[in-house]
Amino acid sequence: MNLRTYRASTIAEALTQVKRDLGADAVILHTRTTKAGGWFGFGARAVVEVTASTGVNIGPARSRRGAQDAPSSRTDADRAAAVAPSRETLLRAYEPSAEQPAAGAPYRGAAPTTFARAASGASEGSGGGVSGGGGGVAAIATCAPFAPADDGARLTLETELTAIKSMVARVLSSSARARTGAMPEALQKHYLTLLEAEVASEIADEVIDGVRADLDAEQLDDPDAVRRAVLRRIAGHIPVADDAPSPDRAEDGRSYTIALVGPTGVGKTTTIAKLAATYKLRHGRAVGLVTADTYRIAAVDQLRTYANIIGLPLKVASTPAEMAAACDSLRDCDVVLVDTAGRSQMDDTRLEELRSFVEAAKPHQTHLVLSSASSESVLLKAAERFACVGPSRVIFTKLDEAVNFGVLVNVARRINTRLSYVTTGQEVPDRIEQGDADRLAGMVLEGRGSA
């Protein structure tokens, strides 16, 4: 008996391995889904584990009573063979049902709904396999992965998917009418655009209701008037900071100090370099840099390279006390920009350490830097956890990598922190803009091309 276990990302990949190694006569003895990789449970990925064999003596299914009375000295493989059904039963379970296409039709194999129970009294196990009532492992035969048989079948599948998408769009349109009542075509078009851009339904409803209140019946039939009204309403949901583009020395006599905080990999260091170049080269301010990012490999060297190119002093702080001393040593500068180490929003200890660095710097502004390429749930979680450092502004980076701009509207509204800057690429000193609610509203309606 050749008993082997295969692991893959999907059940289809695992079954392909089984068929390749053991052939078409292979018998599946057990399947389960587990986790692999990651760090202390974080970042683990789902893995499908399939146990298969050849040479299993598949005879008539034994009764549950008989399986329970089997001698305890038998191996697990022997027990599996004892409770397995006949091969004819297994193959019948794999044959197309009356609802499925016959041989030569678009799909090979059996649809998941046509698999029969593998043994009398079998029930689905918690691990995703099928186990007999007597505790043995039931067997399911496999022939081929469920997939289109040829190009014609693939085209048929694509046509069916297109039809499904069209049906979903019609249902969405019907749902829109049900929630907001009959609406002019131009207004409905923008409403559906908001939903497709993943703007929260409650925000989309508020935008549409606001436009209806702003415009009369004649204006609602004017596409241009409707678009302008929708843009105004979207922009009204995006709080934007009204900071001066080139800050002067603070009223307390210190250098105007700005700290950037945020998760790892969101682009804080690159954004710091862009701000430094903007303040010095475009506005003629004396700028100093301080970095506390001594954890990331070559992070200090990266910022030092930028500082040397622009011609700025750079200080490195490894402790909160060094942070305070570094900021004080740059008191002759108009603006001091503080780069902090990226922190996981799940690491309470590191977040508390970050808070001590920020408090030592005593910034006049603290900007939370978030990546537009992240999901809404990740952005909101990061904003919640970084609230401990008291950010007063938010910077959205990587707009050129964003999937849907509507998510940014949702986040900007939920975190109640004003938008200060956005970045649209890695080029320094370019690809950075002050927060503009009208521009972001246009991105929501126009999509990726306007980023």
15 confidence band (pLDDT: 50, 70, 90): confident
| Least confident piece of the model among 17-26, 235-244, 302-311, 371-380 | 17-26
234 confidence band (pLDDT: 50, 70, 90): very high
* Mean pLDDT of the region 94-111: 40
Q: What is the DSSP letter of 72?
A: T
Please state which CATH number belongs to domain 256-450. 3.40.50.300
Bigger pLDDT: 218 vs 142: 218
Q: 320 in helix, strand or coil? A: helix
Amino acid at 89: T
Bigger pLDDT: 47 vs 287: 287
What pLDDT is stored for residue 64 in this prediction?
Answer: 43
What pLDDT is stored for residue 78 in this prediction?
Answer: 52
CA separation for the pair 110, 99 (Å, rounded): 11
**Cβ distance 226 to 187 under 8 Å?**
yes
107 confidence band (pLDDT: 50, 70, 90): very low
Bigger pLDDT: 158 vs 420: 420
| Least confident piece of the model among 127-141, 209-223, 357-371, 434-448 | 127-141
**Cβ distance 353 to 359 under 8 Å?**
no
Rounded mean pLDDT of the chain?
77
Asked whether the predicted pLDDT for residue 147 surpasses 80, the reply is no
What pLDDT is stored for residue 88 in this prediction?
Answer: 46
Amino acid at 438: D
Asked whether the predicted pLDDT for residue 348 surpasses 70, the reply is yes
Bigger pLDDT: 316 vs 28: 316
Examine residue 429 and say whether the peptide bond preceding it is cis (omega within 30 degrees of 0). yes
What pLDDT is stored for residue 294 in this prediction?
Answer: 80
Asked whether the predicted pLDDT for residue 141 surpasses 60, the reply is no
Q: Comparing C-alpha atoms, which of 416, 295, 297 is closest to residue 347?
A: 295
Q: What is the DSSP letter of 115?
A: P
Bigger pLDDT: 345 vs 417: 417
> Averaging pLDDT over each range in 38-42, 58-62, 374-378, which range is the top one?
374-378
Q: Comparing C-alpha atoms, which of 314, 325, 317, 323 is closest to residue 359?
A: 323
Q: What is the DSSP letter of 113?
A: G
What pLDDT is stored for residue 96 in this prediction?
Answer: 42
* Mean pLDDT of the region 299-314: 90
Per-residue pLDDT reduced to its tens digit, 404-440: 899 999 998 888 789 999 999 888 878 899 999 999 9
What pLDDT is stored for residue 97 in this prediction?
Answer: 43
What pLDDT is stored for residue 258 in this prediction?
Answer: 95
What pLDDT is stored for residue 133 in this prediction?
Answer: 40
CA separation for the pair 437, 419 (Å, rounded): 8
Tokens of 150: 């040829």
What proportion of the chain, given as a percentage, has pLDDT over 90?
Answer: 41
**Cβ distance 313 to 319 under 8 Å?**
no
Asked whether the predicted pLDDT for residue 349 surpasses 90, the reply is no
184 confidence band (pLDDT: 50, 70, 90): confident
CA separation for the pair 68, 71 (Å, rounded): 9
Asked whether the predicted pLDDT for residue 63 surpasses 50, the reply is no
What pLDDT is stored for residue 69 in this prediction?
Answer: 47
* Mean pLDDT of the region 121-149: 42
CA separation for the pair 89, 91 (Å, rounded): 6
What pLDDT is stored for residue 42 in this prediction?
Answer: 56
Helix (H) or strand (E) holding 314: strand 314-316
CA separation for the pair 437, 161 (Å, rounded): 37
Q: How far separated are the first and last CA of the chain, in Å rounded? A: 61
The three-point CA angle 116-119-124 to 5° equals: 70
What pLDDT is stored for residue 314 in this prediction?
Answer: 95
Asked whether the predicted pLDDT for residue 354 surpasses 90, the reply is yes
How many of the other CB atoms lie within 10 Å of CB of 259?
29
Asked whether the predicted pLDDT for residue 356 surpasses 90, the reply is yes
CA separation for the pair 266, 372 (Å, rounded): 9
Asked whether the predicted pLDDT for residue 113 surpasses 60, the reply is no
Close Cβ partners of 164 (under 8 Å, ≥ 6 residues apart): none
Query: Residue 99 burial (CB < 10 Å; 0-12/13-18/19+)?
Result: exposed
What backbone torsions phi and psi does residue 436 show, to the nearest 5 degrees?
-135, 110
Segments making up each domain of the chain, as ranges: 2-141, 151-235, 256-450
- Model pTM? 0.59
CA separation for the pair 428, 434 (Å, rounded): 15
What pLDDT is stored for residue 114 in this prediction?
Answer: 32
What pLDDT is stored for residue 200 in this prediction?
Answer: 92
* Mean pLDDT of the region 255-277: 93
Asked whether the predicted pLDDT for residue 39 surpasses 60, the reply is no
Whole-angstrom CA distances from 35 to 18, 174, 235 are 20, 41, 43
